[in-house]
Structure 1
Amino acid sequence: MLRLMLSRLYTAGAYLAAAMMVLLVLLVLTQIVARNVGVLVETTEISGFSLAAITFLSLAYTLKQGDHIRVSLLIQGLGPVKRRLIELWCTGVALGIIAMLVVHTGVMVYESWSFQEVSPGLMAIPVWIPQLGMLIGVTLLAIALLDEFVLIASGKRPSYAVSSEEEVAELLEEAGVEDEPVVRPATMPFTRGEAV
C-alpha cells in the first residue's frame, strides 16, 4: 500500500513536470507567433520559472527510474556486503544534503511569501509561487532518497541500480535489435612487414 502511494507520488511529480514542459512550449510558441504578428509578449520570466519547475519536479521520478547519471565503476567489483554498505553511505549522504536543501528552500519560500517579494520583470509575479515548484521537487527527492535508504538497509536492491546487462539489453531493444550481435575477433589480412 505504501509502495503504491509513493510510486504515485513520484509519478505525480513527473506529470507536474510534464505539464510545466507543455506550458513552456506553449509560451515559446506564443512568443514566436506574437513576434511575427508584431506584438510584444513577455514570456521570458514564466518560461524561466517553468524550466526550473521542470528540473526540480522530475528529480524523484528520474531517481526511481534509474535515469540519473551514476558512476558505479568503483563499486562494480566489490562483493555484495561492501557494495551495500557503500550504497547505504552514499544514499545517506545524499539524503542529508537534500534534507538541508528542503529546509533552506522552505525558509526561502516562506520569506518570499511573508515579505511579498515579486519578480523584477514586467509581470511582477510573487516569487514564492515559482519557488514552490523547487520546494515540492526537492521534498519529493528527499522522500525518494529516504525510500531508497530503507530499501538498501533492508537488504533489497535499490531501484535506481540498473545492471550493465539490463542497460545493454534496453539499448538493444530501443535500437530494434532482437538478439545480441555476434562479435567476431578481427582478422589480420596481412603479415608482419607488409604495408596496409
Structure 2
Amino acid sequence: MMITLYKKTINGLSAAMGWLCGIGTLVMGLILFYEVVRRYFFNSPTIWTQEVSVYIFMWCMFGGASYALQKGKHVNIDLLTVKLSPKAQSKLKVLTSFFGALFCSEIAVQGWDMIESAVKYQKHSPTPLHVPLWIPQSALFLGFTLLALQFVVLIIEEIAFIRTGERDSVQEVNH
C-alpha cells in the first residue's frame, strides 16, 4: 500500500538522519577536542575547527529534528491535553501536525530560495575555508523538508488511530 511505503520511507530517512546526526555530534566533539589540544597544549590554534563545527551543528540540529519528532521527543506542553480522551488528543495532534507541516514547508521553501541565491551569486563563507554557502544552507532545506514529511506521517498515524481506535506496534513504541 502506498501509505505504508510512504511511512516506511520517511521513518527510515528520519532514522538514518538521526544516526548520522549522532555521528556528526561525535565528530564535532572530536574536532573541538582537537582544537583545545592544539590551542592550549601546543599554542597552535587552527583556523578551521570552529567553522566546521558550526556547520556540523547546523546539520545535526536541522537534520535531527525529524528523528526527534518520529520518536516523540520534541517539546510538548501537555498540561491541559493529558486531560483529554485519547481520541481528542489524536485530533489535536492532527491539527497541530497540520500546522507544523505547513510551517516547516514554508521554511523549506525559504531554505531552497537561499540555496538558489547562494548558487546563483556564488556565495562563499568569508573565512579562509571559503565554503560555498549552499552546503550549510542545504541543512535548513533538507531538515525542514524531512520534518514536514514526518509531520505528515504523524497525521496519517493519528487519523488511523481516530478511525480504528488502535495503534500499530511501531507507533506505540514511538509515542
State the partner residue of 1:11: 15
Structure 1 segments unaligned to the other structure (5+ residues): 163-196
State the partner residue of 1:111: 117
Count of residue correspondences: 162
TM-score (structure 2 length as normaliser): 0.83
Structure 2 segments unaligned to the other structure (5+ residues): none
**CA deviation vs aligned residue, 1:136-187 (integer Å, no higher than 9, x gap):** 211111110011112222326594974xxxxxxxxxxxxxxxxxxxxxxxxx
- Which structure carries more relative contact order (alpha carbon 8 Å, separation 6+)? 2
TM-score (structure 1 length as normaliser): 0.74
Q: CA deviation at 1:50?
A: 1.2
Q: CA deviation at 1:33?
A: 2.1
Greater mean deviation of Cα atoms: 103-112 or 153-162: 153-162
- 8 Å contact kept, 1:13–1:137: no
Residue 87 in 1 paired to residue 93 in 2? Answer: yes
Q: 2: CA distance between counterparts of 1:77 and 1:33?
A: 52
- 8 Å contact kept, 2:11–2:150: no
Greater Rg, structure 1 or structure 2? 1
State the partner residue of 1:141: 147
Q: CA deviation at 1:81?
A: 4.2
The share of aligned pairs that are identical, in percent, is 22
RMSD after superposition: 2.1
Indicate the structure with greater helix content. 2
State the partner residue of 1:64: 70
